[in-house]
Amino acid sequence: MTREEIIKQLTPIAQEVFQKSELVLTDNLSAQNVDTWTSLAFMQFLTAIEEQFGFKFKMMELLKLKTMGDILASMEQHLA
């Protein structure tokens, strides 16, 4: 799956979980600049990704997921 395809499928999930209907997925999005990026929302986001894309994040990967760019890069690897 290409990065563009991932972003296309991931955007509506992110918009719903972070309650921002116009959210555009860019690499620099994080808890620092998205006020709804709470622990609860982040966990819901990860769960939704795992369900929608059919893979599981590893604990060590999770610890490194600080930004949307990190998440997209990790997803690219899982879905390559």
Partner 1 sequence: MSNFNQHILIPLVDQLQVVNKRNAFYIDGQYYTYRQLAERISSIRFVIQTAAKEEQIWALAIHDDLDTYASIFALWMEGKAYVPLHPNQPIDRNLNIISQVALHNVLDSVNHSAFDIPNADYEMHYTHDLVYKADLLDDWKEASEDDLAYILFTSGSTGTPKGVQLSRKNIATFMDSFWKTGITITPEDRCMQVFDLTFDVSVQSYLVALTRGACVYTVPYGQVKYLYAASLIQEQKITFGAMAPSMLTYLRPYFSEFDATSMRQCILTAEACPVDLMEDWYKCAPNVEIYDFYGPTEATIYCTYYKLTRGGKNLSLNGIISIGRPMANVQAIIIDEDGNIIPEKSGAEHKGELCVAGDQVTPGYWKNEEKNASSFFTLPFRERQGVGSIRYYHTGDLCYWDESGNIMYSGRIDQQAKIQGFRVELGEIEYHAREYFNKEKRVMAIAFQNEKNLTEIALFIESAELDTKDLVTYMRSKMPAYMIPTRIIFIENFPLNKSEKVDRNALKQMLK
Angle at 44 between CA 43 and CA 50, to 5 degrees: 90
One residue of 25, 31, 48, 73 binding partner 1 per CB under 8 A: 31
DSSP state of 64: T
Residue 52 within binding range of partner 1, rule CB under 8 A? no
Check if the beta carbon of residue 56 is closer than 8 Å to that of residue 74.
no
Shortest distance, position 39 Cβ to partner 1, whole Å: 5
By beta-carbon proximity to partner 1, the closer residue of 2 and 19 is 19
Please tell me the number of Cα atoms within 13 Å of 39 on its side-chain side: 1
Residue 21 within binding range of partner 1, rule CB under 8 A? yes
One residue of 3, 5, 11, 19 binding partner 1 per CB under 8 A: 19
Residue 36 within binding range of partner 1, rule CB under 8 A? yes
